[in-house]
Structure 1
Amino acid sequence: MAELKHGDITKKILGAAFEVHKFLGNGFQEVIYQRALAYELDRAGLAFAREIWQDIYYKDLHKPIGRRRADFVVEGVVLVELKAVKEIEAAHWAQVL
């Protein structure tokens, strides 16, 4: 696996997400997975905030051009976007890139 930015945090997040998926499986609404992941992140000792509004800036503009809501911001450095879908589509990738 390629080296991950903030790898120690990211590995804990992935472990928490896999634990949620292993226990719950498929078929629930996103909010169910969100609550379960919050529980697992807390158990992993990670600080996080949920459903955080973030301003979006472009180049040298001093005012934001829009806003987005992040499902989780973990340890202030890793954005986590949950999707409760069968397959990740291009629109989902665009939401976080």
Structure 2
Amino acid sequence: MSNELTGEIIGAAIEVHRQIGPGLLETIYEECLISELQNKGLKLSSQHSLPIIYKGKQLNSVYRLDLLVENEVIVELKTVESLSGLHKAQLLTYLKLAKLRYGLLLNFNVPMMRQGIVRLLND
């Protein structure tokens, strides 16, 4: 299911990029992507809180996931010149903490959306 689901999310991201192009704020892309995903009937959570557990104790701090789709795929949105290893490490950490397998890193600040898509797996 998740491979199909990531494909649907990528398709929605491509549609958003096709409609509004690069160069806007991350929050605009997030709002548009939420609309596209909801139109597809997908269940999602925006700015989803992920608690931090350190040595068995829950800390007051939390991570905020940009999107959690169908409780299966973490989607992190960026509007940067280029994705770095740090962006990938951040998403992998989120996947490990959430105990999820599939993640998408989407950078909307690219001429063609396919250049800004990274699929990550937490094995």
What is the TM-score of this pair, normalised by structure 2?
Answer: 0.67
Q: Partners of 1:56 and 1:81 in 2: how far apart?
A: 18
Task: Tell me by how many angstroms 1:64 deviates.
Answer: 3.4
1:10-29 pair list within 5 angstroms: 10-29=6-25
CA shift, 1:16, in A, is 0.4
Count the aligned residue pairs.
Answer: 91
2:80 corresponds, among 68, 77, 85, to 85
Q: CA deviation at 1:67?
A: 2.4
Secondary structure of the corresponding residue to residue 51 of structure 2: strand
Q: Secondary structure at the match of 2:62?
A: strand
Q: Is 1:8 matched up with 2:19? A: no
Q: Which residue of 1 aligns with 2:119?
A: none
Q: What do residues 3-54 of structure 1 show as CA deviations (whole Å, max 9, x unaligned)?
A: xx71121111111011111111110000000010001001111100100110
Secondary structure in 1 matching 2:65:
strand
Structure 2 regions of 5+ residues with no counterpart?
93-123
Distance 2:53 2:10 in 1: 28
Q: Which runs of 5+ in 1 are unaligned?
A: none
Q: Identity over aligned residues, as a percent? A: 38
One-letter code of the match for 2:27?
V
Structure 2 CA distance for aligned equivalents of residues 34 and 53 of structure 1: 16
Determine helix, strand or coil for the equivalent of 1:73.
strand
Q: After superposition, give the CA deviation of every residue in 1:38-88 in whole Å (9 maximum; x if it has no partner).
A: 010011111001001101346xx3223652110000001110000011210
User: If each structure's strand is expressed as a fraction of its own residues, which one has the higher value?
Assistant: 2
Tell me, yes or no, if structure 1 residue 63 matches structure 2 residue 85. Answer: no
SS across alignment from 1:87: coil
SS in 2 for 1:54: strand
